[in-house]
Amino acid sequence: MTYRRIRVAGLLIATVAIAASLTYRGSASLSSTVWPASGQAAYVEGGEWRIHAGPNQHAAAIASVAKVMTAYVVLRDHPLRPGEDGPRITLTEADVADADRRRGRQESVVTVAAGEQLTERQALQALLLPSANNIAAVLARWDAGSANRFVARMNATARSLSMTHTRYTDPSGYDDATVSTAIDQVRIVVRAMRLPAFASIVGTHSATLPVAGTVHNTNTLLGHNGFVGVKTGSTAAAGGCFAFRAIRWIHGRRTTITGVVLGQPGDDRIAAGLAAAEAMVDRIAGHGAVPDRPPRPRPRTLARWNGRVGASW
């Protein structure tokens, strides 16, 4: 009987560990130079279960990084297979009025028209590339019937992912009461990037919408220095924020780095978040790490150092 109880307890513990998916450890095991001088940050390397966390972890405004959870909940409820565009969402006069109201508050929006139809994929592109707050509201109502019910789904999902310091109050992140930590946001970014539709969209430079026309990704690091996504964010309260994924060759191994920086100061807050993430990835990988390409074969006639993996180019 004792043996069976031990085995059952072990199974329960394993179940909890899988549900939590990722654990974290503090910054003591890493050089303090890895982390941005301001704000907070965290990251996980591909193949690891532990999140590396910098100092100053506390619940703080996350701005449009919240849209990662918005997209994740929508895609969980309405999955898109490769090549699928999904159902069409018809926009209304109320949606036009909401966009105008948000534009008047200097929010990030895309132009819409009554009767316009967006496919689910197009709506997600509007959400994740130009970071349209008005489309976050459209998707919330389409998915759950109301913004309040959708936010409840966001928070339930956060709890299921052990995001214990996270509270969503709106689907766009414009509300400063939507708060989280860098550690918690790494958890949802990792989960979202497992969805091919999400990863494909955040890895896109631009998209074309029926009324708004061509919209561009606010992540200007995309395609440079190994960066393949994910989402920028900025408000006065949140500072510059960036959830990111980069791929580098480190010590001869293709390594995925998924991380989040929050609260970066600067006049151009989005640029500050991007710069902090880029510098952080460089420090994690080593300044000479090669962005997302294998090391070149070392000619036998050359000196050993000439073909090292860490050469910059």
Q: What domains, with CATH codes, occur in the chain?
A: 21-295 (3.40.710.10)
Tens of pLDDT, residue by residue over 25-41, are: 554 445 568 999 999 99
pLDDT value at 103 more than 80? yes
Q: How confident is the model at residue 5 (pLDDT cuts 50, 70, 90)?
A: very low
| Residues paired with residue 255 on neighbouring β-strands, in sequence order | 248
Question: From start to end of the chain, where are the E strands?
Answer: 23-25, 40-45, 50-53, 60-61, 88-90, 117-119, 179-180, 206-209, 213-216, 227-235, 239-250, 253-264, 290-291
Residue 153 scores a pLDDT above 90? yes
pTM of the model as a whole: 0.85
* pLDDT band, residue 286 (cuts 50/70/90): confident
